[in-house]
């Protein structure tokens, strides 16, 4: 791993002894108070179990409506997935739009999609209203394809616009102008999506909740819950809480407390790396400054941070592993896409575990009178947690039933250990299948390039031929008026007869004939032609020599050229 890890500025293994996860976000974390554990019994309207994004949003919205709320967090605020993700704030859900429409219909899907857009707007509005420090919004998200499926992407962009989401299709030429990788084809751009520092957002959300009247207790796990009766009883290591409503927002960490609920989620651990500074070559390579995703699986999600570093998320496991094991793999993934960056080294490495339902949609609603769940946000956590917090708060305080729109996505057992094994197997099998499709797409593109090059060469040749117009031919006329060079033939090359036998003395004695018939007149002597006369004659086309019949011999040629007579 030498040269790929480098001197780590922070190590994910140190998280246990650090107040926050030892990662890039922790290095930029804003000041946050240390909140003590619950040590006295409390009686409140609502008890929220879990101090992540969903729990804090729910608590804040309930408190803003005038109810008393307490939040119980087993560790530190922002210490789990809420403060360790890539910070992409996107519309939609983990499940793709076509599948949602196929399951629940267009009109129902349109309502759910509108709620997801509302979640995105909630994050943006909360940051602005509270003047949250250290969040660092970066606009834009680009969903890039690694295969040549332009028609699908154009349809996706059109469907998104029909559902109220601002989206635009980018052809491969535009994509590669922004992200110069031969592995990229078309893309869909979401200009209103954005990326933030999620840890500072969750810390700012906790501060906003406390300003609204919420009491937050860290290092306070809920060890048991009695949901019976009007007042629910929640037991912690040092005290108890009584509440009319309980909100379960602990995601996969609810296993010891609610094992059956936790069993509806597949725990997925992903790995994140921030590179050492890459300098000017990063700016020279990547023109696009927003967030990028180039696959539907864990690989790859990245963006520029700190001016000249890459934050890169990829790979997955169903059980948490040491992030250092993935340093070489993540570095190879970067260099495979952008070889022009050269070798990259990791400065920060960490992981985060999310809960993924089988149907890839959030679990939102009332499980039992007074017992609510807000969970299962894998893949799109920042917008859907905000959406869930508002829906649950309105359901509790205002008895609003908008949350029932998620009823088709019921709690489904995820298969326990066997389900995790299946998920891991699907990931292992799916990766080479995806890579094969991507390689085939690149091969088709190379074949098209060769074909286009041949066509271009033919067009150029045709243009050159077409350029030889009558005007250009007439320009050559003065050249043709000059006396042509004499055509030298074999006869012309031989010595003229005048040099051997004078034409005046060339006589052929007639043979003595047995009859009294008069002797034939001698054939006229052929005068040698001048070179000019020869040149003026048209060149006769070559004719195919006749084949001589077998049995007849060709008479031997004499050394001098003579004229035969009829009697010779």
DSSP secondary structure letters along 159-211: HHHHTT---EEE-HHHHHHHS--TT---EEEEEEEEE--HHHHHHHHHHHHHH
Non-local (6+) Cβ contacts of 45 within 8 A are 62, 67, 68, 69, 243, 244, 245
Structural domain containing residue 460 = 425-465
pLDDT in tens, 393-442: 999 999 999 999 999 998 877 666 666 666 666 665 666 666 676 676 77
Domain shared by 61 and 126, yes or no? yes
Q: Which residues of 270-307 are buried (b: 16+ CB within 10 A; e: fewer)?
A: bbbbbbbebeeebeebbebebbbbbbebbbbbbbbbbe
Looking at the 3D structure of the chain, how many domains does it have?
Answer: 2
Same domain, 371 and 461: no
- Please report whether residue 172 resides in a domain: no
Last residue of some domain: 414, 434, 456?
414
pLDDT in tens, 259-316: 888 889 989 999 999 999 999 999 999 999 999 999 877 789 999 999 999 999 999 8
Q: What is the pLDDT of residue 39?
A: 97
In a domain, 271, yes or no: no
Mark whether 106 and 18 lie in a shared domain: yes
- Reported as a single tens digit per residue, the pLDDT across 432-474 is 666 676 676 777 777 877 888 888 888 888 888 888 765 554 5
For residues 406 and 453, state if they share a domain: no
CA nearest 201: which of 126, 307, 252? 126
Cβ neighbours of 204 (radius 10 Å): 24
381, 458: one domain: no
- Specify whether 56 is located in the same domain as 35: yes
The pLDDT of residue 253 is: 87
Let me know how many helices (H) and strands (E) the chain has, helices first: 16, 18
Predicted model pTM: 0.75
- Within its chain, how far is the Cα of 117 from the centroid? 23
CATH number at residue 368: 3.50.50.60
Inside any domain, residue 187: no
Does residue 401 lie in a domain region? yes
């Amino acid at each position: 791993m030498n040269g790929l890890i480098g001197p780590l500025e922070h190590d994910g293994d140190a998280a246990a002894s650090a107040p926050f996860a030892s990662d890039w976000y922790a290095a930029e974390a804003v000041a946050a108070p240390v909140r003590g554990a619950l040590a006295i019994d409390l009686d409140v309207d609502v008890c929220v179990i879990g101090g992540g994004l969903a729990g804090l949003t729910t608590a804040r919205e309930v408190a803003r409506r005038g109810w008393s709320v307490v939040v119980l967090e087993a560790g530190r605020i922002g210490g789990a997935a809420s403060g360790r993700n890539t910070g992409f704030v996107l519309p939609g859900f983990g499940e793709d739009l076509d599948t949602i429409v196929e399951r629940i219909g267009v009109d129902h899907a349109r309502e759910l999609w509108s709620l997801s857009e509302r979640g995105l707007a909630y994050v943006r509005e909360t940051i602005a209203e509270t003047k949250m420090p250290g969040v660092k919004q970066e606009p834009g998200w680009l969903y890039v394809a690694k295969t040549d499926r332009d028609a699908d992407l154009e349809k996706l962009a059109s469907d998104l616009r029909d559902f109220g989401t601002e989206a635009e299709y980018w052809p491969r030429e535009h994509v590669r102008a922004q992200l110069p990788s031969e592995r990229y084809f078309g893309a869909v751009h979401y200009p209103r999506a954005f990326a933030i520092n999620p840890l500072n957002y969750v810390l700012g959300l906790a501060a906003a909740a406390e300003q609204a009247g919420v009491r937050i207790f860290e290092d306070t796990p809920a060890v048991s819950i009695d949901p019976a009766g009007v007042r629910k009883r929640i037991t912690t290591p040092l005290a108890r809480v009584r509440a009319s409503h309980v909100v379960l927002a602990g995601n996969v960490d609810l296993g010891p407390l609610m094992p059956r609920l936790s069993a509806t989620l597949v725990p997925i651990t992903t790995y994140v790396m921030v590179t050492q500074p890459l300098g000017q070559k990063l700016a020279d390579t990547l023109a696009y400054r927003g967030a990028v995703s180039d696959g539907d699986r864990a690989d790859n999600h990245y963006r520029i941070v700190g001016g000249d570093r890459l934050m890169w998320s990829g790979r997955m496991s169903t059980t948490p592993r040491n992030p250092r094991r993935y340093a070489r793999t993540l570095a190879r993934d970067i260099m495979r896409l952008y070889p022009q960056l050269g070798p990259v080294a990791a400065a920060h490495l960490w992981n985060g575990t999310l809960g993924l339902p089988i149907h890839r949609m959030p679990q939102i609603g009332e499980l039992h009178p007074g017992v609510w769940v807000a969970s299962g946000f894998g893949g799109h956590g920042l917008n859907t947690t905000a959406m869930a917090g508002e829906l649950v708060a309105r359901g509790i305080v205002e008895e609003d039933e908008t949350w029932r729109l998620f009823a088709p996505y019921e709690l489904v057992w995820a298969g326990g250990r066997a389900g995790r094994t299946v998920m891991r197997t699907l990931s292992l099998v799916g990766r080479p299948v995806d890579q094969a499709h991507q390689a085939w797409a690149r091969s088709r593109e190379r074949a098209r390039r060769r074909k286009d090059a041949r066509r271009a060469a033919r067009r150029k040749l045709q243009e050159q031929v077409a350029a030889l117009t009558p005007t250009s031919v007439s320009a050559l006329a003065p050249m043709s008026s000059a006396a042509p060079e004499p055509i030298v033939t074999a006869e012309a090359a031989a010595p003229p007869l005048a040099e051997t036998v004078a034409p005046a003395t060339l006589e052929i004695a007639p043979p003595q004939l047995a009859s009294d018939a008069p002797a034939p007149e001698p054939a006229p002597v052929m005068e040698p032609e001048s070179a000019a006369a020869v040149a003026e004659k048209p060149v006769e086309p070559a004719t195919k020599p006749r084949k001589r019949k077998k049995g007849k011999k060709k008479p031997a040629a004499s050394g001098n050229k003579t004229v035969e007579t009829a009697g010779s």
